[in-house]
Amino acid sequence: MSKYVKNLIADELKQRFEGVEDAILVNVVGMDANATTRLRKTLREKDAHLLVVKRSLAKRATEGGRLQPLFEKKQGPVAVVWGCEDFVSLAKVVVEIVKSGEFPKLELKGGVMDGDLLTAEQVFEVSKWPNREEQIALLVGQILGPGANLVAQILGPGRTVAGQIKKLVEDKEGDA
């Protein structure tokens, strides 16, 4: 492949990876076309993308970017998965697909999160973290918790007094 063609491909890859800060590297070598198509469809349904690319071209395209560590020490063709709302969601999707056994030749190689290189084991660990949506739900619960306690403490004595008055009224009505 001529240098001109390599530069054109690297420029195309640079455009595709523009704005991508986190990604996961998988190995799809040995998968037939039908399995690869099903894998891509499964990933698209989860708002993720898969691109098989020559490592040296990907390294050239991501030079100086956050994805650069992903292609430093790898050899041969690699498949890059990116997308989803955040990296944790992406890790959950990829780990779920790998663990499902639907694609036995699919192998998790590693990833890059916030510019830091992760091993396959670290990606498995990240998949156990709460994703952005779950973190927001936890945060909202923590914010609303003290307010709910305060409201309960304010309304509690009033309920007690109201209950006692109601019991007195019922007792008076029962006597009459």
User: Is residue 66 domain-shared with residue 150, that is, in the same domain?
Assistant: no
**Closest Cα to residue 24, out of 67, 69, 81, 105?**
81
Residue-wise pLDDT tens for the chain (176 aa)? 788 888 888 888 888 888 888 999 999 888 999 999 999 999 999 999 999 988 888 888 888 888 888 888 767 778 999 988 889 999 999 999 999 989 888 889 999 998 888 888 999 999 998 888 888 888 888 888 888 888 888 888 888 888 888 888 888 887 76
Check residue 74 and give its pLDDT: 66
User: Is residue 148 domain-shared with residue 118, that is, in the same domain?
Assistant: no
Domain of residue 169, residue span: 137-176
User: Is residue 49 domain-shared with residue 125, that is, in the same domain?
Assistant: yes
Alpha carbons 82 and 99: distance in angstroms, whole number: 18
The number of folded domains in the chain is 2
Check residue 41 and give its pLDDT: 94
Check residue 20 and give its pLDDT: 87
Q: What is the CATH number of the domain that holds 39?
A: 3.30.70.1730
Check residue 125 and give its pLDDT: 92
